[in-house]
Amino acid sequence: METRIFENKETVAKSFSAYLSDLISSKAEIHIALSGGSTPKIVFDELAAEYGDKIDWKKVHFYWGDERCVPPSDSESNFKMTQDHLLSKIQIPAENVHRIQGENEPVQEAKRYSHVLEKQLPSQNGMPHFDLVILGMGDDGHTASIFPDSIDQWEAEDLCVTVAHPVSGQIRVSLSGGIINHAETVAFLVTGKSKAEKVREVIQKEGNFDSYPASLVKPESGNLIWFLDEDAAADLR
């Protein structure tokens, strides 16, 4: 595991965007699972502004780690956020964008998206294989849309699961733990003082760390990188 700490979320975005550009340039084709949230939003802005015409987007395939079960035009849609801040500003083939269709019936959509992953991703040791999975972490230690009260879904045999948000009850479709941990690299993007306690517990294996889904992110490859700002890293030794 590697921890990279930057002054603020803007420098996190700049560093991660440079990292991603280098990773893309090193591959003939690349398959990336995206995250929603405020930090990816500024990463997408940075990518569009600084790398829009520098990256060969034709070799990039985008997927999502989770999605709220809302239409793609809804302000809560992770796809819409990515569309507004990145996809609409770059030259990426439409067929390279593999969105979770949040407007569909959730259980059926989880099955459909599992089939998309099986069809589109290269297989390694009999399982679909991402080059990179980008994750965030909530104040409660959740990641993708696996929450502490649904942590058993991490171990689901299916590639995708449906989960209800513990407060709002909103249904979401999420990748399960097996395909996340099978990725070549997993990168956490975590910023803000409100995340500091959980960051410390998860990284240093303290407190109730094993009740947080983020603590279960352990890629088989060993390639786990935390991109943190100083606020999120404030409690680390």
pLDDT at 83: 98
How far apart, in Å, are the Cα atoms of 37 and each of 43, 49, 65?
10, 19, 12
Angle value at C-alpha 118, between 113 and 122, nearest 5 degrees: 130
Task: For the chain, list the domains and their CATH numbers.
Answer: 2-229 (3.40.50.1360)
pLDDT at 205: 97
pLDDT at 98: 98
What tens digit of pLDDT does each residue of 158-175 get?
Answer: 999 999 999 999 999 999
Mean pLDDT of 206-221: 97
Residue pair 16/116 in contact by the 8 Å Cβ criterion: no
Measured CA to CA, the distance from residue 204 to residue 165 in angstroms comes to 27
Measured CA to CA, the distance from residue 191 to residue 196 in angstroms comes to 8
Residues 6+ apart with CB under 8 A from 199: 137, 190, 226, 228, 232, 233, 235, 236
What tens digit of pLDDT does each residue of 180-204 get?
Answer: 999 999 999 999 999 999 999 999 9
pLDDT at 234: 98
pLDDT band at 54 (very low <50, low <70, confident <90, very high): very high
